[in-house]
Every structure is written in C-alpha cells, then in structure tokens.
Structure 1
Amino acid sequence: MLDIRIRAANHEAKRRARGAANDDDPVAANHQDSVKNPLAALDAFLNRACFDAADPGALGEMLKQMVDAGYDRLPLPGSGRTLTRWRALAAVAARDLGLVKLFEGHTDALAILAELDAPHVPPGSRWGVWAAEAPDARVLATPLADGQLRLSGTKAWCSGAQAVSHALVTAWVGDEPVLAALTMDQPSISITTHHWHAVGMRATQSGDVRFDETRAVQLGAPHGYVRRAGFWQGGAGIAACWYGAAAGLASMMAEAVAARPDAHRLAHMGAVDVALAGAAAVLRATALQIDAHPGGDMQSAAMRARLVVEAAATTVVEHAGRALGAAPLCRNERFARAMADLPVFLRQSHAERDLAALGERTLGQRGDHGDPWEL
C-alpha cells in the first residue's frame, strides 16, 4: 500500500521539498553548503565523481548519492532563481546525459510535488516522472473508497525505473487524465526493458512498467498536471539539459582544436560559439521571463527556447564531428558517448510538430501583443 505519509499534512517535509535548510534539522544542516552554494558544490561533486556511465546500476547509485547529499534541492521554477536551477541541470548534463536524465526527472518531480502542494516527500526518496502516452500503452486508474487509486496497465518510456523509489505517473480515470504518486516497492509492479535497444542513452534503461492493481495517490485535479504553470517551466528546463550537453561537447572540441588548430577547425569552432551564444541568450531571457511571470502562460517561450537550443545542439554535434573527424569518436569514450546520447535526448523535441505549434501560437498572438520580433 502506498505510504499514507505522502498525504499527511507534514509541514517539515513540504519544506524539504522546497529545498530550504534549517539549523534545527541535523539532516538539513549537513547540506547547508550545497543549498547555499548549489552550483559550486555540485561542480565539485561532479568533478570528483567516478562512475561507469554505461552501467545503469552506476547511474542509479550516482542519483542516490546526489539526493543523499542534497544536490537535488534546486530552486523551484519561477522562484526568482530559475537560471540557477537550469545551470545546475546543464552542469550535470555536461558530465553525462544518462545521469542528467535521471536527475532532471527527479528534480522535476520535486517541483511538481511542491506546485501541487503535496504535503510529504519521504527523505532520501528518488523520483521519476513518467507522462508519455504511447498509443499502445495506457494506465487506467480506479478511485478507491479511501481516496486512493488503483492503477492497471502499462506505462512506456519509463527512464530509470529500476533506480527510483517513487514515481509520478499519468493515468486515466475514464476519459480524464490524472497524475498519480506511488511507491515502486509494491509487488504489483513489474519492469521490463526488452523493448529498449537504444545505443544512445542506453544506460537509462527507459523500459516499460506494468501496474497490476497498484496502489497510488492522486495529486491535484484531473488535467491538473498539464494545466499548471510549471508544466511549460519544466519543459523549458529540458532545454537547459540539451544546452549543457552541447556545451560539454564544445569544451571537449575546444581542447582538441587548441592542440592542433587550423583554418577549418577554427571555422567550425566559431560556428559552435555562435550557436551556443545564441542559445544561452535565449535561455537567460526565458528564465527571466518565467521569474517575472511565474503563474503566466509560458508555452510559447518554452517552445521557443527548446527549439533554439535544439538547433544549437544539432549544430554543435555536426561541427564537432566534422572538425575532429573519426578519432575521438573511436578513441575518446566520453566524447563518443555524448555524440551518441545527445541526438537521442534531443528527440524529446517533436521537431516540425513543435515548430508548427509555435508558428500557430505566434500568428494567434500577434494581434494581442503586437509584433513579437521588435528589438
């Protein structure tokens, strides 16, 4: 049965979810440095971290270490420090995309729980957010007399399913979508990765999770998951992960170009710099916009940021490969993994469908907001 504490009114746990520190709390006190200086502490941790990025178990252990150390206590989106949050995600992405896939999902879950006013997050819990609605996989929810839900069905694309202790899952009560919170230690849950044949992002083991009368708790009202302000704020945060990975590739590229520069390599380096500078500017502006209007409609801003960063990251992958040739793809494990992982991660964008959706919104908003391209 789902730990009923997730529904109990527990102010202290809510405070933990929001990342605050309290001198009277020995657990929080141990992590004050990582809360006060999150980027510096996180960078130091990532620099000294040693793990096998190809091993799903190692990624899970890294996530556990990061949660236990308090590195997951990022500022919430729209809190006035959205850019700090995104810089942390970018730093993890530059280290390893498989790791940031788990870390971003966990920190997104904490933001969702805070936004939907979930009263308790168990200390040390590690969360996934599984909201993909595959055409051949759907989870049905049956309300119970005690106010909980019973879930049945399959959820596809569940990254890190074997690494997390809890999950937020979209499900359906009749024809209405709901968000359910559950613990992963229930015998009614089974995980399979037999469909996961990925090369890029392989270690995330994004498998299918089967629920068979699994106990869960509904969070918020039906449709609340997608209608909340944080939905698109979190969507823009994914772009920070893409940016961090692209910047990490650019750093490795810069070291190689500096060691053996020529006109062609330098031209590729310049193209990468232009792409990343433009993407960084858009991410900074979007973070400011979110913080200025935390309850506002950020769909257009988020989609624009995602598409700009996607284009920049694609540019980095292309120029890095053309500038450096086959050698680092074959002899530099970290570079080769990043070049394989990033194109897969970028497909969280829906490409031309997202461009079309943004174009439609842009045309619809021109009359209300004037020329959107005025400098």
Structure 2
Amino acid sequence: MTTADEPLSTLAPFPAALPDATLPALVASHDWACLDWPALLRALLAVGRTSIPLGRLTEGHVDAVRILAQAGREPHGGATYGVWASRSHATGVRATPVDGGWVLDGTLRFASGVGLIERALLPVWLDEERSVLLDLDVSTWQGDEDSWRTPAMIDSRSLTVPVQGVEATADAQVGDVGFYLGRPGFFPGGVGVAAVWAGGAARVADLTARATAGAPPAPARTARWGRIRTELACAAALLDTAGRVLASSEPDLGSSSASASSTEASPARGAGGRGQELSTEVRAGVAAPSRAVLEECRVLAGPAGMAFDGDLAQAIADLDLYVAQQNRDADQGYLGGLDR
C-alpha cells in the first residue's frame, strides 16, 4: 500500500506529490533552464506523481526554455511555454518566405496547452527536409474542441490547431535552419518525458492504494503490490542513473549548456549519437514498468475501483494514453540494431 508522500522505492526514492500545484506556480518554481539533470528529473517525477496532464504541460514548458537556452535566447518574461512539434499523420506547418518573415499554413496535432500556455516553440517546414524553429505568441490561437475524442489527458488541452495564413516575423526564429532537430539536446530531452511517465505510474499506485484501503488481506494482493514496488524501483533507478550520466557527460550527450551554434549530432554508433541511445534506453526502460504498474493496478482496483473512483479511473486513462507515445517496436528495433 502507498500514500502520495511515501518514497515507494529504496535505491532511488520517489519525491512526494506536490500540494495544490498549478501550472503558473510550477513555471515560476524553478529556473528550469539552469536546473541540473538530477534535480530536473526529480522535479518532473514529483509533478507527474501529482497530476499526469499537469506533468505533460510542465515538461513542455521545461523543454521549451531549455531549447531557448541552447540557442542562447531568453524566454519572454514570465511566459508559460510549450513545444508544438508533432507531425502526426503527415500534419505540420509549412512556412512560405515573405519579406521580413514567413506565412504559416497547416495543421498542428497534439498542441498541448491550447488556451493555457502563452507561447510555443514551433518547427515550421520550408520543404520536406528543412525547418526553422519559431518562438510564437499563441495565447489567442484556437483549437478544435471536437478534435480530442477521449477523456484521457483531457486536462492537457492537446487539441488540433488549424493554422491558416499566420504571419511570423524574422525575429521569431530560434537558431539556424535545422536547429530544432540537429541540436545536441534533442534526444536527451526525451528523458524528461520518461520522468513524467514514472511519476504518473506512482500516482496510479497511490490512488489504487487509496481506493483499495478497505480490502481484506490476501496473498495475491500482497504479491501484486510487491510487483508494483519492483517496477517503480526499476523506473526510478533508471532515471536516477540517467540524470547522473547526463550531468557528467555534457555536452557529449546534449544539455541546456551545449553550444548554441552547434547543430551536429553527437558522435556515436547511432545516427543521433549517444544522446539518442541513452534517451531510447531510458524511455523504453521506463515505459515498460509504467505499463506493468497499470496492469497490476487495474486488477487490484477491480471493476468497483475503475467505475466508482473518478480520480483513479482518470489517472489510469491519462497514463495509458500518455505512455502510448513510446513506440515500442521502433525503440526496440533501434536498440537491437546497435553494434554489440
């Protein structure tokens, strides 16, 4: 059994859930661009354990301000940011050059934080191969309210946004052409997403414990809690190791302190360098125990917990959808294809 302030594991204890957390408060709570990797991952674990959609939005802001730092730019004072980079099902935004900037057209899917965030970093495409990254005011952009057809992650406001004839000035550009995908920090940034997954798994375990607090003792239930603790410990230990490796390997694996002018991939066996290898190992290694926790908690909660505990049902749906972002076949294929 767990509570939201228990460490859950021994080697790498989980931080407690945060009381009364809001997105504006979290944005202001740290200098996210300068936070070292171990502290960053622990902070994201705590937010994920507090609220999975809130963790998603916080991670998007964190990613954005660290990208800006990599480019040697400051975020607009006090603004809440996101990164709107999805090209799901051949969507995305095209940029047509005009005097003084670009005209933008296309469709943005998974634009998290519509109506909640003030600015977004948006890669826009000059052609099939070349993109530029723009820092845009999206506070008035509207999403299609009917585009999100599931209650899962509903609070993340990840809507589809139509973009038609939007003008962007040249001073919105962040970095050189190709900066977004080519920067050293591109792949390591995915470790932050994995931290929110693990925090979300801890939240599901916390809520399952609350929902089943009156259940009679049974060996099968005890064994399931043992498996949950094991899975959470594996995820937390992997993130703890990743944080220390990232902190000690800059800029080889990519970080917010990497050179703003560098757009070369880190040298290594994989096309994306050692940063891609590390990020893929961590994402795959955290996604698997997160899914295992979901499976165990569904059984422990049973139909009553799933039907009558709204917080638990929402957290299970949120984590199930969010962790589906990890493509198991692609990640395992990539890792299996590396030189041994």
Given the two structures, how large is their TM-score scaled by the length of structure 2? 0.82
CA offset at residue 223 of structure 1?
A: 2.0
- More displaced, 167-176 or 190-199? 190-199
Match of 2:158 among 199, 203, 206: 206
Cα distance change of structure 1 residues 109 and 352 upon mapping to structure 2, 3 Å threshold: same
Q: State the partner residue of 1:48.
A: 20
1:84-95 maps to which residues of 2 (within 5 A)? 84-95=39-50
Which shifted more, 247-256 or 235-244?
A: 247-256
- For residues 69-108 of structure 1, what are the structure 2 equivalents within 5 Å? 70-74=28-32, 76=34, 81-108=36-63
Query: SS of the counterpart of 2:217?
Result: coil
Residue 149 of structure 2 is aligned to residue 194 of structure 1: no
One-letter identity of the residue aligned with 1:261: P
> Secondary structure at 1:121's aligned position in 2?
coil
Aligned to 1:329: 306
Report the secondary structure of 1:117's partner residue: coil
Sort the Cα spacing of 1:357 and 1:275 in 2 relative to 1 into closer, same or farther, 3 A. Answer: same
Q: Does 1:66 align with 2:18?
A: no
Residue 172 (structure 1) aligned with residue 130 (structure 2): no
Structure 1 residue aligned with 2:105: 152
Match of 1:308 among 272, 275, 285: 285
Over 3 Å counting, the alpha-carbon distance change for 1:167 and 1:286 in structure 2 is same
Shift of 1:240: 0.2
Q: Distance in 1 between matches of 2:124 and 2:236?
A: 35
The 5-angstrom pairing of residues 1-375 of structure 1 reads 46-49=18-21, 62-67=22-27, 70-74=28-32, 76=34, 81-118=36-73, 120-146=74-100, 148-175=101-128, 176-185=130-139, 189-211=141-163, 212-216=165-169, 217-255=172-210, 259=214, 260-296=216-252, 297-360=274-337, 362=338, 364=339, 366=340
State how far apart, in whole Å, the 1-side matches of 2:30 and 2:99 are: 35
Distance 1:128 1:246 in 2: 23
Residues of 2 paired with 1:330 and 1:254: CA distance? 15
- CA separation in 2, counterparts of 1:334 and 1:137? 33
Q: Deviations over 1:22-66 (max 9, x none)?
A: xxxxxxxxxxxxxxxxxxxx968x3135xxxxxxxxxxxx32343
Identity over aligned pairs, percent: 30
CA distance in 2, matches of 1:276, 1:137: 35
Residues 319 and 230 from structure 1, CA distance in 2 versus in 1: closer, same or farther, beyond 3 angstroms?
same
- The answer on whether the counterparts of 2:200 and 2:319 sit within 8 Å (CA) in structure 1 is yes
- 8 Å CA contact 2:194–2:283 kept in 1: the answer is yes
CA contact under 8 A between 2:63 and 2:189: conserved in structure 1? Answer: yes
Q: Structure 1: which 5+ runs fail to align?
A: 1-41, 50-61, 367-375
Q: Is the 8 Å Cα contact of residues 257 and 265 (structure 1) preserved in structure 2?
A: no
Deviations 1:84-134 (A, max 9, x none): 11111111111111111111111111111111112x322221111011112
Structure 1 223/275 Cα, relative in aligned 2: closer, same or farther at 3 Å? same
Q: Deviation at 1:167? A: 0.7
The one-letter code matched in structure 1 to 2:281 is R
What SS does the corresponding residue of 1:327 show, helix, strand or coil?
Answer: helix
Once residues 82 and 171 of structure 1 are traced to their aligned partners in structure 2, the CA distance between those partners, rounded to angstroms, is 29
* Number of residue-to-residue matches in the alignment: 300
Q: Which stretches in structure 2 are left out of the alignment for 5+ residues?
A: 1-14, 253-273
1:272-328, Cα deviation, whole Å (9 max, x unpaired):
111111111111111111111122231111111111111101110111111231222
For CA contacts below 8 A with separation 6 or more, give which structure has more relative contact order. Answer: 2
Separation (CA, whole Å) in 1 of partners of 2:211 and 2:310: 14
SS across alignment from 2:167: strand
Contact kept, 8 Å, 1:75 with 1:85, in 2: the verdict is: no
Distance 1:75 1:109 in 2: 9
